[in-house]
Amino acid sequence: MIHLLWVLFNTGLFLFFIIICFKATKLVREKMGGFTAIVFVLGLLSFVSNSDTNTNKEPNSNKIKTWNFNTDDDLTRKTYSQTIDLEKTLISKNTLGITYGKKDQANLPISAYSITSGFTSGRSWSPLTIIVNPTKDNRLSYFVSGVLEWKLLGATLYTQTNNYKGVLMPK
């Protein structure tokens, strides 16, 4: 519920900011002229459109950051993928995706990733560590550690560390 309230607060504050910007632009145009108003608007646009530094992407790529454990050459050619909901709210969810294969009837992890989906305005999830290990009973245990940043108009107000662990029962 707090996630929904945070999104509504962020949206309301952003709309209020837009209204203030329109009024300020009108005032600048009336007092200083049209060219000054255009420079003012371009300056505001550069401020508002700051680049989204998503740390959940591979460097110089649009690809989601993935942790690799084994190469699929070591395993049988057939690989499996499963997703696990780490945290579910009214408007979004954090998900862990695990790809694994078999070697001598044992399940071995190949790779894993974690993403947030849904409406995430004002929050940013960045996984720092993903560990997936096989267990003795042919399951996969996982541990995910990351940072959830609570933002207000693009500025980080609070940083929260989240840890998730559990066991995946492969298909």
d(CA 129, CA 32): 53
pTM: 0.70
Give the residue among 50, 30, 28 at the shortest CA–CA distance from 39.
Answer: 28
Which sequence spans correspond to the domains of the chain? 2-48, 67-168
17 token code pair: 């900011």
Give the residue among 133, 147, 131, 142 at the shortest CA–CA distance from 167.
Answer: 142
pLDDT in tens, the chain (171 residues): 777 888 888 888 888 888 888 888 888 888 888 888 888 887 777 666 554 555 566 655 567 778 777 765 655 667 889 999 998 988 889 999 999 888 777 888 888 999 988 887 788 888 999 999 998 888 999 999 999 998 877 778 889 999 999 998 887
